[in-house]
Amino acid sequence: MTSFHHPGTVLTDHTFEVPLDHQDPAGERITVFAREVVASRQAGDDLPWLLFLQGGPGHGAPRPIGRDAWLDRALQDFRVLLLDQRGTGRSTRVTRQRVRARGNPRRQAEYLAHFRADAIVRDAELIRRQLGGDRPWSVLGQSFGGFCAVTYLSFAPEGLRDVMITGGLPGLHATADDVYRATYPRVAAKNDAHYARYPGDVQKVRAITEALANTGITVEAFRSLGLALGSSTGSHELHYLVEDAFEAPGVLSDAFLAEVRHRLDLTGAPLYALLHEACYAQGGPTAWAAHRVRDEFPRFQDPVLFTGEMIYPGTVDPAFAEVADLLAAKADWPALYDPQRLRTNTVPVAAAVYHDDMYVDRELSEQTASSIGNTRIWVTNEYEHDGLRVSRGAVLDRLIRMTGGEV
């Protein structure tokens, strides 16, 4: 273990060896990294653990500086563990080279299938036992991290003291098709709100899509920048991006193209594209659900309409194209949730459900909340999907008080 100090905090790095396949505990091992954060004045105290499960999939945990964002509130009560979920950050990261080393695309797909929420939860349970023995811990799940938290409640509730979820209550029975049928209308509504705020962007975006030929950036990829519309400041950021797009009439500037390429680059997080739809897979194949379902919404034939948190065959790194097709065709994904066990859950659960969330459907979240015992939800339109990050601890504070029965 390595420890170091930031303003007001002590951070300690941990590494753990876990099975690649938890069904084969004696088989191949991988490394999982996690960073402990504790308030300096409480570094020697016996504090309860709070495990943070990051959104994604495919993104490492935050790299905090001091007590920034929601950490300031968390550190009042907890010793926080920021987990790099397997395949991300410093946890045997999935990279182009590492995937290629597995052999042919079929072997690559078999390897990548071990990086979903079910395996992440099994990792967390092994880590909990190493750090705290039989003592249960609290879990905070943001977005995809909330999906993982519900999987945790399904597989190992004995390891949980309480669970807090922000923008991450999944549909327990929803297929990928169901998710995108619910999502596309909300993405269209976010587009409408953006263009109502910045009406001049309509013609600018249309001109950009017409000028993208021979830039190496496809119109489909550019439209996926609409992912930003689901965050608190994303509409404004998108406006600032497009307002200075042209060097001259019909000629996109090098600075604009460089920024677009940077925003689209998933080199550091290939799992985001490769396993995105697999987050919803239980049983049958997803079969490129976002791509298929989009055809049910004719408005999206207009290239000025940005898309959102959708992955299409044409936006996957060509190096992963074949393995991505195999994952989309995989028909034997194991279940991620246990509805019967969730109905009888006794672990206190508090969830922030964002009324206008572009990524996670509110109605599906509310259905799930009513299907998990001992669960309370707070439905709010005060924040977008990134409410945990931008609320300066207010969202987390409310969830902590909800699990304690104070509100």
Per-residue pLDDT tens over the stretch 173-224: 999 999 999 999 999 999 999 999 999 999 999 999 999 999 999 999 999 9
- Active-site residue numbers? 143, 332, 385
Percent of the chain with pLDDT over 70: 100
323 confidence band (pLDDT: 50, 70, 90): very high
Q: What is the distance between the alpha carbons of residues 322 and 313, in angstroms, rounded to a whole number?
A: 10
Q: What is the distance between the alpha carbons of residues 164 and 336, in angstroms, rounded to a whole number?
A: 18
353 confidence band (pLDDT: 50, 70, 90): very high
Mean pLDDT, range 347-352, rounded to an integer: 98
- For residue range 56-82, what is the model confidence (pLDDT) as tens digits? 999 999 999 989 899 999 999 999 999
Res 283: pLDDT: 85
47 confidence band (pLDDT: 50, 70, 90): very high
Say yes or no to pLDDT of 314 above 90: no
Percent of the chain with pLDDT over 90: 94
2 confidence band (pLDDT: 50, 70, 90): confident
Domains, in order of start, for the chain: 2-172+337-403 (3.40.50.1820), 176-329 (no CATH)
3-state secondary structure the chain: CEEEEECCEEEEEEEEEEECCCCCCCCCEEEEEEEEEEEHHHCCCCCCEEEEECCCCCCCCCCCCCCCCCHHHHCCCCEEEEECCCCCCCCCCCCHHHHHCCCCHHHHHHHHCCCCHHHHHHHHHHHHHHHHCCCCEEEEEECHHHHHHHHHHHHCHHHEEEEEEECCCCCCCCCHHHHHHHHHHHHHHHHHHHHHHCCCHHHHHHHHHHHCCCCCCCHHHHHHHHHHHHCCCHHHHHHHHHHCCEEECCEECHHHHHHHHHHHCCCCCHHHHHCCHHHHCCECCCCCHHHHHHCCCHHHHCCCCCCCCCCCHHHCCHHHHHHHHHHHHCCCECCCCCHHHHHCCCCCEEEEEECCCCCCCHHHHHHHHHHCCCEEEEEECCCCCCHHHHCCCHHHHHHHHHHCCCC
